[in-house]
Amino acid sequence: MERLQKVMAHCGVASRRKAEELILKGRVKVDGKVIRELGYLVNSKNIVEVDGIVLQREDHVYYLLNKPRGVITSTFDDKKRKTVVDLIDTNKRIYPVGRLDYDTTGALILTNDGEFANYLMHPKNNIMKCYVVKVEGILKGPQIHALQKGVMIDGKKTNDAKVKLRKVDKQNNNCIVEITIHEGRNHQIKKMIEQVGFKVLKLKREKIAFLDVKDLKSGEYRVLTPKEVARLYGINERHKKSTD
């Protein structure tokens, strides 16, 4: 037996929190009966409907993609541009976890597990994302220190970040910077760089937690192993123990 909102999240309807909102609004039925109880338990034989559509429970899948430039991080694009879902050969209804901009490349996870996706995206779970940034101009100590300690973007200060200057090209007036964050705000890396007076020329997400795309060519993907999925789920618990 599992809680109704957990089953809904597993089926990819929404995050568990959004599933709870749907239940409270009376939009969910179990075996034809409207359920408004958040702790309601269901089993595999119960028929669950959301807005009249029966949920199809399916095995969860998890993919790591090396996203190319010029591909939309979405399940559908009304301009008929290629999406990240188009790159994965599967009959499952998958979706990307978080977003990478049209011109940003690198590590992206896709899944049909709503609970897992919500877990990865929530800042409190301390999922590290490492980016490699080509910057127009050369960052100096004060700018690096500011990025490390947090800068104001969209009216809110960013959390502490790890910042490492990888390469300086004085002849072409640019540099390569590695930035590691635990947040996932909209266009965060680009806005952070702009906030210290510089411009991003290229951006790649090199790692999500311990997962990297070094062995994947642009546009290639692989299936995450059960051990890797379990290890991702364990990151927050390990962080709590280290800070206790």
Total domain count for the chain?
3
The SS3 assignment for 178 reads: strand
Average pLDDT over every residue of 222-229: 96
Largest CA distance in the chain: 70
Instruction: Measure the CA–CA gap between 130 and 205, rounded to whole angstroms.
Output: 6
Asked whether residue 86 falls in the same domain as residue 132, the answer is no
Final residue of a domain: which of 18, 37, 54?
54
- Examine residue 12 and state whether it is found in any structural domain, yes or no: yes
- Examine residue 240 and state whether it is found in any structural domain, yes or no: no
- Examine residue 45 and state whether it is found in any structural domain, yes or no: yes
Instruction: Measure the CA–CA gap between 117 and 227, rounded to whole angstroms.
Output: 17
Instruction: Measure the CA–CA gap between 233 and 230, rounded to whole angstroms.
Output: 5
Instruction: Measure the CA–CA gap between 67 and 185, rounded to whole angstroms.
Output: 19
With a cut of 60, say whether residue 240 has pLDDT above it.
no
Q: What is the structure's pLDDT at 239?
A: 47
- Examine residue 241 and state whether it is found in any structural domain, yes or no: no
Closest CA to 121 of 152, 158, 147, 96: 96
Asked whether residue 29 falls in the same domain as residue 82, the answer is no
Asked whether residue 204 falls in the same domain as residue 215, the answer is no
Picking from 57-66, 147-156, 198-207, which range would have the lowest pLDDT averaged per residue?
57-66
Q: What are phi and psi of 240, to 5 degrees?
A: -60, -45
CATH of the domain at 135: 3.30.70.1560
Asked whether residue 84 falls in the same domain as residue 102, the answer is yes
- Could you give the residue numbers annotated as active site? 101
Give the list of residues 6+ apart from residue 140 with CB closer than 8 angstroms, or none: none
Asked whether residue 145 falls in the same domain as residue 160, the answer is yes
**Domain, as residue range, for 191:** 128-208
Asked whether residue 119 falls in the same domain as residue 219, the answer is yes
Asked whether residue 153 falls in the same domain as residue 176, the answer is yes
User: 10-38, pLDDT tens digit by residue?
Assistant: 777 777 888 999 999 999 999 999 999 99
pLDDT confidence band for 238 (50 / 70 / 90)? low
Residue type, 32: G
The SS3 assignment for 130 reads: strand
Directed axis angle between helix 188-195 and helix 141-149, to 10°?
Answer: 140
DSSP tag of 46: S
Q: What is the structure's pLDDT at 37?
A: 94
Q: What is the structure's pLDDT at 142?
A: 96
Asked whether residue 227 falls in the same domain as residue 117, the answer is yes
Asked whether residue 37 falls in the same domain as residue 70, the answer is no
Asked whether residue 136 falls in the same domain as residue 195, the answer is yes
Asked whether residue 115 falls in the same domain as residue 132, the answer is no
Comparison of pLDDT for 76 and 215, the residue scoring more: 215
Q: What is the structure's pLDDT at 118?
A: 85
Q: What is the structure's pLDDT at 231?
A: 94
Asked whether residue 37 falls in the same domain as residue 11, the answer is yes
pLDDT confidence band for 236 (50 / 70 / 90)? low
- Examine residue 243 and state whether it is found in any structural domain, yes or no: no
Q: What is the structure's pLDDT at 195?
A: 97
pTM for this predicted structure: 0.79
| Cα–Cα distance list, 30 to 5, 7, 9, 24, 52 (Å) | 12, 12, 15, 14, 11
- Examine residue 242 and state whether it is found in any structural domain, yes or no: no
